[in-house]
């Protein structure tokens, strides 16, 4: 079968190696600039986090007047200890009615250039958000030290997102590890030998935030 729910999931290491994912989430934007940026962009009301992982951003962006619903397909990622109302599902087939959310966002999840189902996910993003609601996508910008270690291209392409009607902003942040061993462990896992030879704890990292308002 090629179109079952399982084949719609992009494999991710976090459920199998939660200790490595913990390092990633703690260190990749230690200053919390991406969270601050999203907090300022997101409205109050009901917001959907697509590909929410373990609920790291959903938990941080929830506040008295904003409820974030995390949508995540991999049950090994879902952290039931977090005080969140979880939904299991994929970006290509969001299990909510049309015009439900005041905003939708995805951080480093599903909305990557070259994904064959990207159009389906974008259709679903646009469908579930209300008129004048924001659609926000966060990814690697590239042109930085972090992506320079990758053997393949892991940077986003702003031109493709502009063609889809999004505008973008770049956040200049950094990975900050507790020590070199931690940096080598995570970057070695990501990038092989080049990553495991790193001798520093701070690594420049640029993040791109794409935004589109539903008309
Ligand atoms: C890199 S993690 C990012 C997690 C989270 N957004 C964060 O910022 O910590 C990517 C997540 O997307 C999920 N994912 C994989 N395929 C997906 C799909 N088709 N639709 C939605 N999410 C998907 C993975 O299971 C994983 O939890």
Which residue out of 53, 82, 118 has the highest number of ligand 1 atoms within 8 Å of its CB and is therefore the one to mutate?
Answer: 53
Tokens of 10: 């992009």
Compute the 3-state secondary structure of the chain and give helix, strand, coil in percent, each to the nearest 5.
30, 25, 40
Note the pLDDT of residue 179: 98
pLDDT in tens, 109-151: 999 999 999 999 999 999 999 999 999 999 999 999 999 999 9
pLDDT > 90 fraction of the chain, expressed in percent and rounded: 97
Give the integer Cα–Cα distance in Å for 62 and 64.
7
Distance in Å, CA 52 to ligand 1 centroid: 6
Distance in Å, CA 116 to ligand 1 centroid: 16
Distance in Å, CA 24 to ligand 1 centroid: 14
pLDDT-based confidence at 2, cuts 50/70/90?
very low
Q: What angle do CA 54, 25, 29 make, to 5 degrees?
A: 140
Position with higher pLDDT, 7 vs 199: 199
Residues in Cβ contact with 59 at an 8 Å cutoff, skipping those fewer than 6 apart = 68, 82, 83, 84
Among 187, 192, 188, 189, which Cα is nearest to 204's? Answer: 187
* Buried/exposed 19-39: b ≥16 CB within 10 Å, e otherwise: eebebbebbbbeeeebeebbe
What are the beta bridge partners of residue 212?
135
Distance in Å, CA 53 to ligand 1 centroid: 5
Among 207, 114, 124, which Cα is nearest to 168's? Answer: 207
Note the pLDDT of residue 1: 34
Which residue out of 4, 12, 60 has the highest number of ligand 1 atoms within 8 Å of its CB and is therefore the one to mutate?
Answer: 12
Distance in Å, CA 121 to ligand 1 centroid: 13
pLDDT in tens, 6-52: 789 999 999 999 999 999 999 999 999 999 999 999 999 999 999 99
Which residues line the pocket of ligand 1, CB cutoff 6 A? 8-10, 12, 14, 25, 50-53, 56-57, 72-74, 77, 90-92, 107-110
Give the integer Cα–Cα distance in Å for 63 and 59.
9
Distance in Å, CA 73 to ligand 1 centroid: 8
Give the integer Cα–Cα distance in Å for 113 and 177.
28
- Over residues 92-108, the mean pLDDT reads 98
């Amino acid at each position: 079968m090629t179109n079952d729910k399982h084949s719609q999931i992009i494999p991710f290491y976090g459920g199998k190696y939660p200790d490595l994912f913990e390092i990633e989430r703690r260190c990749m934007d230690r200053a919390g600039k991406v969270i601050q940026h999203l907090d300022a962009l997101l409205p109050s009301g009901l917001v959907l986090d697509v590909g929410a992982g373990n609920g790291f951003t959903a938990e941080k962006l929830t506040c008295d007047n904003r409820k974030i619903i995390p949508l995540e397909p991999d049950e090994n990622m879902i952290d039931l200890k977090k005080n969140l109302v979880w939904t299991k599902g994929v970006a290509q087939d969001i299990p909510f009615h049309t015009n439900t959310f005041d905003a939708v966002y995805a951080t480093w999840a599903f909305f990557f250039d070259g994904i064959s189902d990207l159009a389906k996910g974008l259709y679903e993003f646009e469908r579930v958000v209300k008129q004048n609601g924001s659609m926000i996508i966060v990814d690697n910008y590239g042109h930085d030290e972090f992506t320079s270690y990758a053997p393949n291209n892991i940077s986003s392409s702003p031109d493709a997102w502009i063609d889809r009607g999004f505008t973008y902003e770049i956040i200049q942040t950094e990975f900050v590890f507790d020590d070199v061993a931690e940096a080598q462990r995570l970057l070695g896992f990501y990038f092989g030998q080049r990553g495991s030879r790193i001798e520093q704890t701070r690594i420049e990292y640029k993040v791109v935030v794409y935004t589109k308002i539903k008309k």
